[in-house]
């Protein structure tokens, strides 16, 4: 019967068996100290004689659990039996048991199968699993239904640029940029409130610390809303639930990165400014910009932090030409918004057009052929409630929560312009 | 303030506002009965005069809630105000408020945006959302970490057949058939226990009631197991949790389909038979088969139901040539299994090879070039625990739970040989 490292304090004075990776090995001749790492933590083993395996080998050890003030965590196992279940080659191409701060991201990603064993790097994905959990739990608490929609689409949804093409038997198909059309369809189907956790694809040649060609999109869409302000309130509730969840359950992972989750008060304090106001705030810093580019996002978040004590800022009322054809118009603007978090846009959303004549007009204004999106248009032809939604980028949320430099660090197996392996 | 249909019994004698779809309209000249459908249920509206909208229009109505024994559910609203928020064209290409039993699946799928409004069809996906929830909750209760891995891969994982090719900038890439290699990597990373809910792609020209070219795979993988029997026990625990969840929370959806979820006892009673025994059981019915094809799956489930009172049967010890190169060998067989549910295979799994020399031997035996899967092989080179896992097909599980004829009915926007829209 195996005992996890975290449960050993209850076993002092007893014999226990542990399994895991040889995290660190210090040979002292007649005996050796082996730190064993399992999914729950670490434990020091005291082994008689030479150990016949190298770091990262997978071992199984049995022995007396005893208190020892000098052992890490105050406990160790005097191993009477040690078995090597799988030997690791040495030297390792990358150190698992030390800091990887000086190793390049390219090298970390090239050796992904091994670098993920580094406890600090692995904690990124333990935390990400929790973000998925708290997001889904919150959506369900507000009566949202989880959906899974196809990522293979016959035609480009928003003009056809930036799509990866698939050879689909004897036809062309594409990877979906977002579940936008499908989540709208599911709102109109009567579910009213839906969320989807799924992959999204962008065939864009960006190579920046903020772009991935494949990412996980946390999509939300709901019926019977008036404007984007309701969506902003919903996103605040979601973020508060997620941040409160990780702050209370995952303090150890945040601590590894010297990170903290925003408090509920600071999320509530997040200001909402119009696109024009946002440009004016940026202009007051002496930076002249004609659009909200990455530099503007940073400036706006610094402003929000300074003036409102919040790591978040919402920008609404984007001009019509800056938004897709389905954005609900209001004068020359739209009922749309972005959410910026610690200097980075993590969400785009807004109310959508739900009236059939209006969406046809918008197709014409944007030069879209209605015939090419007839399935989508049928959503509106047969009665569709007023609705809207947004999407949160999972990797960007992870990145900014932990303070990672590059969004690729928050993707297990990131895809970029050059990388399709491992 | 909007009230949901399900909350109206608490509002009798008060004025309430409801929003939803005009499910059914009966005009009687001076007044009309409109059944309004929202995400929570239905309510009858009594409207004075003619209604100016057709079925499926989205409306908002306000009026006195009153008891009426002749109204469906015993309650109705005497509408003083009715506003049409979005008018539906008529006639509808498909009836939403009646049975679609006589409508062909092709027509249902061609008109997917509308056919999903049919409450019975929509209930399939309400239930599916619950399957996702109970699956994830159970995995977390057993300390599994949720992962999200790339669906874009550089090389075919299992020989390269059956893969959809993607034009990835100036290179070729493929859509992953499964997260097999990645989930093994994440077990070896130290997470030990992982699950993934993600899309899987098969470029196979099947056109059967049991195949989809894109489906949702519920993947599970864990370390420190001895054999496939432990995996079968784990799958039984998962299925019991999922079935108990829907039986207690979603009885209304099951009832719409005249379906019931297997009891915990009947899951526990599921027999495990070896591949050879399974063939012998089939042979005893007079059906001579040389492999476990769909007909054999049906016969085995009938046998299990009759002899063991279970809708499930597990088949293990598949011959080596019937399993992938990473299946753990045992004599001429493997430590592998399938799970059959109500006549259909819903799961394939097994223990995997974790020793580096053994996986190299297996590559050679299967004619695989180790260089082509070097990232995968590095998992084993640097210490990997004994491990195994399996995958449950979400749509097949949904199909068999509800008794659907075709697996495509259990996919919101199914993809097959000919269908890439809507």
B80-134 residue pLDDT tens: 999 999 999 999 999 999 999 999 999 999 999 999 999 999 999 999 999 999 9
Q: Summarize the confidence of residues B347-369 as an average pLDDT.
A: 96
- Residues B237, A161: Cα–Cα separation, whole Å: 46
Q: What are phi and psi of B411, to 5 degrees?
A: -120, 125
Domain match, B283 and B220 both = yes
CB of B335 closer than 8 Å to CB of B320: no
Domain match, B58 and B156 both = no
Q: Summarize the confidence of residues A138-151 as an average pLDDT.
A: 98
- Residues A340, A167: Cα–Cα separation, whole Å: 37
Q: What pTM was estimated for this model as a whole? A: 0.98
Residue A34 lies in domain:
5-86
For the cut 70, the answer to whether the pLDDT of residue B159 exceeds it is no
Q: What is the mean pLDDT of chain B?
A: 96
Are the Cβ atoms of A149 and B394 closer than 8 angstroms?
no
Domain match, A308 and A169 both = yes
Q: Given CA atoms B13, B18, B21, B22 in this order, what sign does their dihedral have?
A: positive
- Residue A120 contacts B, CB cutoff 8 Å: no
C-alpha gyration radius of chain A: 26
A417 belongs to a structural domain = no
What's the confidence (pLDDT) of residue B155?
81
Digit-coded pLDDT (tens) for B251-267: 999 999 999 999 999 99
What are the tokens at A198? 């799924």
What's the confidence (pLDDT) of residue B181?
96
Domain match, B43 and B132 both = no
- Residue B133 contacts A, CB cutoff 8 Å: yes
* A 136-165 residues with CB < 8 A to B: 136, 140, 143, 145-155, 164-165
Domain match, B311 and B392 both = yes
Please give, rounded to a whole number of angstroms, the shortest distance from the CA of B107 to a CA of chain A. 13
- Chosen domain end from A20, A51, A86: A86
Domain match, B151 and B56 both = no
Domain match, A69 and A128 both = no
Which long-range contacts link A110-115 to residues 24+ away (Cβ below 8 Å)? A111/B378, A112/A412, A112/A413, A112/A422, A112/B185, A112/B375, A113/A422, A113/B185, A113/B188, A113/B189, A113/B375, A113/B376, A113/B378, A113/B379, A113/B382, A114/A56, A114/B378, A114/B382
- Tokens 């408020």, located at residue: B97
- Residue A366 contacts B, CB cutoff 8 Å: no
- Residue A52 contacts B, CB cutoff 8 Å: no
For the cut 70, the answer to whether the pLDDT of residue B156 exceeds it is no
Q: What percent of chain B has pLDDT over 90?
A: 95
What's the confidence (pLDDT) of residue A287?
86
Number of structural domains chain B divides into: 2
Q: Summarize the confidence of residues A238-267 as an average pLDDT.
A: 98
More confident residue, A161 or B407: B407
Q: Return the number of other C-beta atoms located less than 10 Å from residue A318's C-beta.
A: 23
What's the confidence (pLDDT) of residue B160?
60
B391 belongs to a structural domain = yes
In this structure, the dihedral spanned by the alpha carbons of residues A408, A410, A413 and A415, taken in order and rounded to 10 degrees, is -30
Buried b (16+ CB within 10 A) or exposed e, A60-83: bbbbbbeeeeebeeebbbbbeebe
Domain match, A68 and A138 both = no
Per-residue confidence band for A160, with pLDDT thresholds at 50, 70 and 90: low
Domain match, B78 and B120 both = no
Are the Cβ atoms of B394 and A39 closer than 8 angstroms?
no
Looking up residue A161, the CATH number of its domain turns out to be 3.30.930.10
Please give, rounded to a whole number of angstroms, the shortest distance from the CA of B275 to a CA of chain A. 29
Q: Given CA atoms B318, B323, A116, A393 in this order, what sign does their dihedral have?
A: negative
More confident residue, B159 or A99: A99
Please give, rounded to a whole number of angstroms, the shortest distance from the CA of B165 to a CA of chain A. 5
Per-residue confidence band for B237, with pLDDT thresholds at 50, 70 and 90: very high
Q: What are phi and psi of A261, to 5 degrees?
A: -90, 140
Q: Summarize the confidence of residues A381-396 as an average pLDDT.
A: 98
For the cut 60, the answer to whether the pLDDT of residue A157 exceeds it is no
What are the tokens at A116? 């993920």
For the cut 90, the answer to whether the pLDDT of residue A155 exceeds it is no
Are the Cβ atoms of A85 and B151 closer than 8 angstroms?
no
B100 belongs to a structural domain = no
CB of B144 closer than 8 Å to CB of A166: no
Helices (H) and strands (E) in chain B, counts: 12, 18
- Residues A397, A134: Cα–Cα separation, whole Å: 13
Are the Cβ atoms of B145 and A125 closer than 8 angstroms?
yes
- Chosen domain end from A86, A102, A135: A86
What's the confidence (pLDDT) of residue A161?
73
Beta strand B272-274 with B312-316 is parallel
Q: What is the mean pLDDT of chain A?
A: 96
Domain match, A349 and A218 both = yes
Q: What are phi and psi of A88, to 5 degrees?
A: -95, 140
Q: Taking CB atoms and an 8 Å cutoff, what residues of chain A touch B376?
A: 113, 422
- Residues B251, B260: Cα–Cα separation, whole Å: 8
What's the confidence (pLDDT) of residue A158?
58
Q: What are phi and psi of B219, to 5 degrees?
A: -100, 140
Are the Cβ atoms of A394 and B148 closer than 8 angstroms?
yes
Per-residue confidence band for A409, with pLDDT thresholds at 50, 70 and 90: very high
What's the confidence (pLDDT) of residue B290?
86
Q: Summarize the confidence of residues A84-107 as an average pLDDT.
A: 95
What's the confidence (pLDDT) of residue A3?
98
Please give, rounded to a whole number of angstroms, the shortest distance from the CA of B293 to a CA of chain A. 25
Alpha carbon separation from B81 to B61, B68, B237, B298 (Å, rounded): 6, 20, 52, 56
What's the confidence (pLDDT) of residue B157?
58
B171 belongs to a structural domain = yes
A95 belongs to a structural domain = no
For the cut 70, the answer to whether the pLDDT of residue B158 exceeds it is no
Domain match, B43 and B185 both = no
What's the confidence (pLDDT) of residue A251?
97
Looking up residue B18, the CATH number of its domain turns out to be 2.40.50.140
């Amino acid at each position: 019967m195996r005992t996890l490292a975290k449960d050993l304090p209850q076993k002092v004075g007893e014999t226990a068996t542990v399994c895991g990776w040889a995290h660190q090995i210090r040979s002292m001749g007649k005996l050796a100290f082996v730190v064993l790492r399992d999914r729950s933590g670490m434990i020091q083993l005291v082994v008689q004689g030479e150990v016949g395996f190298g770091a990262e080998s997978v071992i199984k050890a049995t022995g007396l659990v005893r208190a020892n003030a000098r052992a890490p965590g105050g406990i160790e196992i005097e191993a009477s039996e040690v078995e090597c279940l799988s030997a690791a080659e040495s030297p390792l191409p990358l150190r698992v048991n030390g800091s990887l701060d000086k190793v390049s991201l390219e090298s970390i990603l090239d050796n992904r199968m091994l670098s993920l064993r580094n406890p600090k790097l692995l904690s990124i994905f333990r935390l990400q699993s929790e973000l998925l959990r708290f997001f889904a739990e919150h959506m369900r608490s507000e009566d949202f239904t989880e959906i899974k929609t196809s990522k293979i689409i016959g035609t480009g949804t928003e003009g056809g640029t930036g799509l990866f093409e698939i050879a689909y038997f004897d036809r062309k198909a594409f990877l979906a940029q977002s579940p936008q059309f499908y989540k709208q369809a599911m709102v109109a189907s009567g579910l009213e409130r839906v969320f989807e956790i799924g992959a999204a694809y962008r065939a864009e040649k960006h190579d920046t610390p903020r772009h991935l060609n494949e990412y996980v999109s946390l999509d939300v869409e709901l019926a019977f809303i008036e404007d984007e302000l309701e969506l902003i309130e919903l996103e605040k509730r979601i973020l508060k639930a997620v941040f409160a969840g990780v702050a209370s359950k995952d303090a150890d992972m945040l601590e590894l990165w010297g990170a903290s989750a925003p408090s509920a008060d600071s999320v509530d304090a997040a200001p909402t400014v119009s696109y024009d106001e946002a440009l004016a705030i940026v202009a007051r810093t002496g930076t002249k910009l004609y659009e909200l580019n990455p530099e503007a996002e940073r400036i706006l978040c610094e402003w929000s932090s300074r003036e409102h004590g919040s790591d978040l800022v919402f920008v609404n009322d984007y001009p019509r030409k800056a938004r897709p054809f389905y954005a609900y118009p209001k004068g020359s603007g739209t009922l749309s918004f972005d959410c910026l978090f610690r200097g980075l846009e993590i969400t785009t959303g807004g109310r959508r057009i739900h009236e059939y004549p209006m969406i046809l007009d918008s197709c014409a204004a944007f030069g879209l052929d209605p015939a090419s999106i007839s399935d989508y248009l049928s959503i509106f032809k047969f009665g569709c409630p007023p609705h809207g939604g947004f999407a949160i980028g999972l990797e960007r949320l992870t990145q900014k929560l932990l303070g990672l430099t590059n969004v690729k660090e928050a993707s297990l197996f990131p895809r970029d312009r050059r990388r399709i392996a491992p």
